Amino acid sequence: MQYRTLGRTGIKVTPFALGAMMLGQMGNPDRQEAIRIIHRALDGGINFVDTADRYGDSEQVVGEALRGRRDDVVLATKFWGPVDDDVNHRGASRRWIVQAVERSLRNLQTDYIDLYQLHRPDPETDIDETLSALTDLVRQGKVRAIGSSSMRGSEIVEAQWMSERRGFERFRTEQPNYSILDREIEREILPVAQRYGMGTLVYSPLAGGTLTGRYRAGQENDVFRSTRTGMNHFRDERRLAVVEQLIALAAEAGLSLAHLAMAFAIAHPGVTSAIAGPRTMEQLDDTLAGVDVSLSDDILDRIDAIVAPGESVGAMDMVYRGPEVGAPALRRRPVAQRSAA
């Protein structure tokens, strides 16, 4: 496995990272098998593991799996989402951050986190409040580097500016959604991250499983993820039609669709690592079987012809789009102000 530098942190990570969201209650509840999957990933050369405090018991599974191997792993986790019913046990306030990090440290059975990430922007908290608290964690030695996830380009710039102005630690990484089907970050997010020397670890390089070849146009897709609530994108005929074209291209190149998709994600110069999120050992083994795949310019050109650079085909339902898109009141004037007269 090759290594890439995580932004300008000096930390070396593998181009494939192990995402642990599905290892535990949210995916594979067999804890011993989940631990074996993590061990197999590490034995296969992966040194980068990503999880989050809101992924059920995933942090606990990871912590148990890393006993005796902690210092060999670049460990990343995230905060922001609700972990229980307490309204203050979520978000990006100093009050929650100082509690959340201690909770994650206990779960992960470690005294430091290599990369601590803001899982989503928090419009209810000033970014300087968040950066100030995260800076203290770095200075206390509990966190080595900090990162963001699902930020817009303007939010990345604002955070970088605030860090420079106030002397805070700055976000060293960004974690956006990226796949052959979801290429919008090529327009702004990746160039901005590169400009600020940020590492980028992209999630859902297989488009949530759509790019495994198991979801086909005109067929019943009665598999684990397609039957879950909020997964309508698995039945998006526009996306599935593109998947059919990509399956044909992959076959012509002598590759599986999943290997084509993972190799595509790490081919962009702005991408440091692509997060693979297996639920089973079989899925992990298939991912590891594709570590040697390198796409030629011809194959990348043909992918560009199917899904243009900077464009997306539909979107995954769970992707964060910000309150301006999700809240009607923020994108609709009062009725009395909607006419020109």
Which residues form the catalytic set? 55
Nearest-CA neighbor of 169 among 204, 140, 207? Answer: 140
Provide the token pair at 274.
């692509």
Structure tokens at 218: 């005109």
Residue 59 to residue 66: CA distance in whole angstroms: 11
**What's the alpha-carbon Rg for the chain, to the nearest Å?**
20
CA angle 39, 42, 43 (to 5 degrees): 85
C-alpha distance across the termini of the chain, in Å: 65
CA distance 59 to 34: 12
